[in-house]
Chains A and B, each alone.
Chain A
Amino acid sequence: MKKKKTFNRRDFIQSSIRASLVVSVGGIGGLALKNGTKKDWVWQIDPFECNQCGRCATECVRNPSAVKCVHAYDLCGYCDLCGGYFIPGAVKLDTGAENQLCPTAALIRKFIEEPYFEYEIDEDLCIGCAKCVKGCTSFGNGSLHLQIRHDLCRNCNECSIARVCPSKAIKRVPADTPYLIKGTFTRTTDS
């Protein structure tokens, strides 16, 4: 006759310890896996939503702002009469301060060859005011646009510009693709 196995206190304690160990190891492994694959997110400006309100210059906790103008050269027309560089009604199409739109002269105009001019941004001078962006968008191809520079941004997850952005252009984007540069990034269907 087969002897019936009894489940005594010792067995219960041993089983419990084994189960706790399995749960602990599994939990730690799961947490490690979760942390290892967790996607980080950062703030970025959708250039197609931006309405050039100027708040990126005034509301950023960094001074000067971590928002800078960037230039999608492949969209630029390299025009002599650049809407982002010259004030409306510029006296002359030259680099005279009185003709420049940028309040900090951060946009640099370089002659390439007749009739092409290249426009480059001096990021140390740029305050992210979007004045050139509005000029370029209104009169040109919209190649100048704003982006949050993540080497300057605190990435504190409490973007003070996003709170007041009237067009809700500042969005969370995956940290591994932190920029929305025109040309490679195109208007989304919900934009």
Chain B
Amino acid sequence: MKKTVIYLFLSLIIVVILVIVIGDFRSTRPDRMSGNPYELDIDGIRSVDPDLITYKETKNYKIDAAQAGGIAVAGGKIFLVADDFLQVFDYGGKQYFREPLPEQARCLEVTATNDIIVGFRNSIALLSPEGEEIWRSEPLDERAVITALAVKNSTIFVADAGNRAVHRYTIDGKYVDSFEGKTRIEGNHGFIIPSPYFDLGVSPDGELWVVNPGKHSLENYTDDGNLRSFLENISREIEGFGGCCNPAHIDIMADGSFVTSEKGVVRIKIHEPSGELSTVVAPPDKFREDGEAPDVAVDEEGIIYALDYDKNLIRIFEPK
């Protein structure tokens, strides 16, 4: 009789344990996710053939700022604007100086004479190589959102995402004119800027290249704003530019190749002067999945400096 009770008791315990285990197995609590029947698999787009990646990250520098703005490299120096200051340091990370700015800066460019042009929301300023203000332009209208700068001889090109236009200034700070990338070709609406990503650059040959992010294209303009040619490759695959507003940032290498940085699926690549993909600098797994596209700058040796807004780092990528 006693044994029967013990057996019954043990059987009951086993049943209870089984119920708990099965219940737990079938549970849909947050940490026991069943497969998502509606899963959109983008791993294929995020993964990159390792043979295409010919750069490696060699160094990075932490930025002491709440909001990084832009980066430029020239003459062996790294120039950074973040919050409301300008910081200049050498490639080894040793600071030359840090100067306050009148407001938050968003982009910058360095002239051939090592002067520094800084872009604020709706105005630009020229600073001496030591960071002292030489002049500051009159503010543009309220819609202006200056996102990038380029300089060619005595002309400064200013990308204004808010007005969807490129403004020209003289090196003395005088406004010259603006162009919106429109042509007589039917259906050409000029610059399509769905979000505040609008970059431009001047190649070593002196050609002005402007990103038309809504069209995923790089457009070559004469200095006075006439479209000369364009490179367009709409694709989410590694060879092209997909998503909205890409490439988000560019810089131009000594051989005319384009260093491009994309948002959405964040990645840095190099494209030939003819537009074909040359190599991958940093694949998406190097960045936060929902991160921002890093600003990019390239030096004379092809070393790429990426301003990682999510990690607050300047990340340096060198050829393997």
Contact = CB atoms under 8 A, between A and B. Distances in A.
A101 B44 CA distance: 16
A88 B42 contact: yes
Interface string A109-144: 000011100000000000001110011011111000
A115 B38 contact: no
A93 to B, nearest CB: 8
A72 to B, nearest CB: 12
Contact of B265 (A57, A139, A166): A139
A173 interface: no
Dominant secondary structure at the B interface: loop
A140 B197 CA distance: 12
Interface in B52-96: none
Given A77-B214, A139-B265, A164 B40 contact: no
Contact of B33 (A52, A53, A137, A139): A53
Contact of B234 (A80, A135, A140): A80
Contacts of B302: none
Interface string B186-198: 0101001011000
B205 interface: no
30 contacts: A54-B37, A57-B37, A57-B38, A77-B194, A77-B244, A78-B194, A79-B194, A79-B243, A80-B234, A81-B216, A81-B243, A83-B242, A83-B264, A88-B42, A88-B236, A114-B187, A115-B187, A115-B189, A115-B215, A131-B38, A131-B40, A134-B40, A135-B40, A138-B265, A141-B194, A163-B29, A164-B29, A164-B30, A166-B33, A168-B30
Interface of A: 52-55, 57-59, 75-81, 83, 88-89, 101, 103, 113-115, 129-131, 134-135, 137-141, 163-166, 168
